[in-house]
Structure 1
Amino acid sequence: METFRHVENRPLELAVVVPVLNEHDNVGPLLEKLSIALAGIEFEVIFVDDGSGDGTPERVEAIAATDRRVRLLRRIGRRGLSSAVVEGFLSTVAQVVAVIDGDLQHDETVLPGLYRAIAEDGYELAVGTRYAEGGGTGDWDRARERISRLATRLAAPVTKTLLSDPMSGFFAAKRAVVLEAASDLSSVGYKILLDLVASHPRRLTLKEVPYEFRSRTAGESKLDSAVALEYFELLLDKLVGRFVPVKFLMFGAVGALGLLVHLCVLGVALNAAGLGFAAAQTLAVLTAMTFNYALNNAFTYRDRRLSGFAWWRGLASFALVCSAGAAANVGVAGFVFGEQGADWWLAGALGALVGAIWNYAVTSWLTWSRR
């Protein structure tokens, strides 16, 4: 068998990962800008597509067919900027990796400085920041800037490194640094920099490079309330994820809201509608159960969200599991109170805890299964 012949090439110096979702019109302009900015550096650009429906992957493939510096990584059934970036980093052999948005809002002329900070100055991490002298947030309104700065302050307890802009999605790093933390990355949400810094076992050496955030010229913004929720989920994961799953905390919070809904419906049914207690309680249970299911489907398990007929099938399985959980709740509470002589409040709390764990574990496996 003929052996694969070695071809002399300049070693790959930098891999630029570009996570994209419906950025067709920005692919060409971004590559042109990167070619100019990174002249003299042996680089590749890895587009990681999460199921674009506007022809983005086809556009990248057409360019990649004639330019070996361009690669495409298509993900099926998986979404999320952080996990997309991590997969892009792990798919290259370049020793320096960088991430830049595909919407042209990051200043590509800063990339050479980020690269040199790693390759020549020896830093492990180089971050493009909007909040250092010389940087800026462009045309952001005051409300958005305040929210961003609040998010920055909230990140302080989980970062081991002083970062002026932990929300930044524009940075470079030694690939070895990413590999060291890869198994501990939560890959939740959109803030891979925060995830990387918080997950790494040691304090990283870093350099910050200011840049001015640009306005979007094409495509649509991906920012919505889900992004904020995922950010807080990431913070919680880094603070307490070693002790208790964040999804369990979210499941419990939804359950607490469901209790309020239950009591409100019960009160209205008894006092305003004039129903008997049994009928009012049944209505309250069904309403709260449906509320809990809908909220968990929308937020706690948004990455496995059910829709269409699957939504109704999920509701049925959720109700079945929670009915068994209620029985476990009553059984455990009765045993602890009657047989062990515990105080009523302790028995009730233990019963509720057992019921909550049962509901969370079984619905996670049955209702929102990844299978």
Structure 2
Amino acid sequence: MKVLSLHEAGAEAAPVPAATLAVPELTVILPTYNERANVPLIVAALRRALAGIAFEVVFVDDNSPDGTAAIAHEIAATDPRVRVIRRIGRRGLAGACIEGMLSSSAPFVAVMDADLQHDETLLPKMLAALKAGDLDLAVASRRAEGGAIGEGLSKVRAAGSNLANALAQRLLKVTLTDPMSGFFMLRRPIVDELAPKLSAQGFKILLDIVASGEGRLRIVEFPFVFRERREGESKLDTLVTFDYLGLLLSKYFGDLVSVRFLMFSLVGASGVLVHLLALRGSMIGLGLDFNMAQTLATFVAMTTNFALNNRLTYRDRRLSGLAMLRGLLTFYAVCSAGVLANVGVANMIYQSEPVWWLAGTAGAAMGAVWNYTASSLLTWRKP
């Protein structure tokens, strides 16, 4: 097989229209997971909407099992405006958005969904507004005057979105009408400035950007109607509530603790309720004495905590198959040692300062820190 030089390869390659070779002015980031059917549709839509604008499209795919990255690569082979980042061992929408934005050299970057629920025809207007020079961030809002949720969200998800917006506006003093929007555009230098403060966890990257900007970002909103998904299924479920609360708390306390730790703690707090329900159910339903019921309830709570953490807190390191079973056993061991740490610290403090609530709080905090640290190192260690 003959190996061609760069010159020979270029000479023999099919000619590419000059318009597609221009240095991109805009990079559109499309985070994807199992969006195979939508890839050619969104590329075609962006070509129409951005005609006359030097742009590129970056698919950031979390190793979708349906072949999303492969379809995107096929398109990229004939259109140099399309690029693909296939992430192995890394998952999560926020992390994908950050990675995609940092990969761009264009002066402006946009983030939107690949499922065609966002109105791509807004992109030229958003770009024009930012190019005018006095704005940093353009947000497509479902709640600005003229915008609407439309048929894109179920009644339950719409109600949840309303509550999430209200919490963000009240706790973080965010003035956006739709801080939950996943459709926005900003100046590329803003990404470099804020990236170290952003969490790779979670789904609401816009809220993180605005909160991390601490009121300094100059923002404009554009109304749009949220469309109904055409192909595939939504990746959001009720578990993202924990994720969102973790982000809110992390930003509210000035990023003093990580979003992952707060999510781990929220899952742990839910485990208390699970434990009490299992304890009561074991005593009444199974007729067990307190000690047996307490032991069973402890394992039930630890098991549900493991499942929730594996699904949400450590989604980027999610365990499956035999690895999941090994992880569950190490989680049991970690939590058992955490109980000893909890009791030991509480007793030590109580002996020197017999204030029950202080000793109990300190013990619980020590147990939480131990469980989180040990779980990260042993149960969900990085590959």
For the superposition of Structure 1 and Structure 2, which TM-score range results when normalised by the shorter chain?
A: 0.7 to 0.9
Q: Secondary structure at the match of 2:382?
A: coil
Matched AA of 1:67: D
Q: Give 1:60 shift.
A: 1.6
* Deviations 1:219-249 (CA, angstroms, capped at 9, x unpaired): 2222222333322222122113633344444
Q: Secondary structure at the match of 2:74?
A: helix
Q: Secondary structure at the match of 1:128?
A: strand
* Deviations 1:50-109 (CA, angstroms, capped at 9, x unpaired): 112223222221221121111111111111122112111111111011122111111111
- The corresponding residue for 2:237 is 224
- The corresponding residue for 2:73 is 61
Deviates more, 1:289-298 or 1:86-95: 289-298
1:30 aligns with 2:11: no
- The corresponding residue for 1:145 is 158
Distance change in 2, residues 1:220/1:323 (3 Å): closer
- The corresponding residue for 2:188 is 175
Instruction: Give the number of equivalent residue pairs.
Output: 367
Q: Structure 1-normalised TM-score?
A: 0.87
**CA-atom RMSD in angstroms:** 3.0
Asked whether the equivalents of residues 89 and 316 of structure 2 are also in contact (C-alpha less than 8 Å), the reply is no
- The corresponding residue for 2:90 is 78
1:362 aligns with 2:374: yes
Matched AA of 1:233: G
**Structure 2 counterpart of 1:306, from 299, 302, 319:** 319
- The corresponding residue for 1:112 is 124
- The corresponding residue for 2:54 is 42
Contiguous gaps of at least 5 residues in structure 1: none
Asked whether the equivalents of residues 92 and 315 of structure 2 are also in contact (C-alpha less than 8 Å), the reply is no
1:342 aligns with 2:381: no
- The corresponding residue for 2:144 is 132
Alpha-carbon distance between aligned partners in 2 of 1:273 and 1:213, rounded to the nearest angstrom: 50
Asked whether the equivalents of residues 161 and 203 of structure 1 are also in contact (C-alpha less than 8 Å), the reply is no
Distance change in 2, residues 1:41/1:240 (3 Å): same
Distance change in 2, residues 1:118/1:318 (3 Å): same
Alpha-carbon distance between aligned partners in 2 of 1:200 and 1:20, rounded to the nearest angstrom: 26
* Deviations 1:317-346 (CA, angstroms, capped at 9, x unpaired): 2222333333333333333444x2624554
Deviates more, 1:157-166 or 1:214-223: 157-166
Q: Secondary structure at the match of 1:357?
A: helix
Q: Secondary structure at the match of 1:44?
A: strand
Alpha-carbon distance between aligned partners in 1 of 2:273 and 2:173, rounded to the nearest angstrom: 39
Q: Secondary structure at the match of 1:225?
A: coil
Q: For 1:81-96, what aligned pairs fall within 5 Å after superposition?
A: 81-96=93-108
Matched AA of 1:111: L
Matched AA of 2:373: A
Identity of aligned residues (%): 52
Q: Give 1:45 shift.
A: 1.2
Asked whether the equivalents of residues 250 and 256 of structure 2 are also in contact (C-alpha less than 8 Å), the reply is no
Alpha-carbon distance between aligned partners in 2 of 1:293 and 1:226, rounded to the nearest angstrom: 14
Contiguous gaps of at least 5 residues in structure 2: 8-17
Deviates more, 1:98-107 or 1:348-357: 348-357
Q: Give 1:250 shift.
A: 4.0
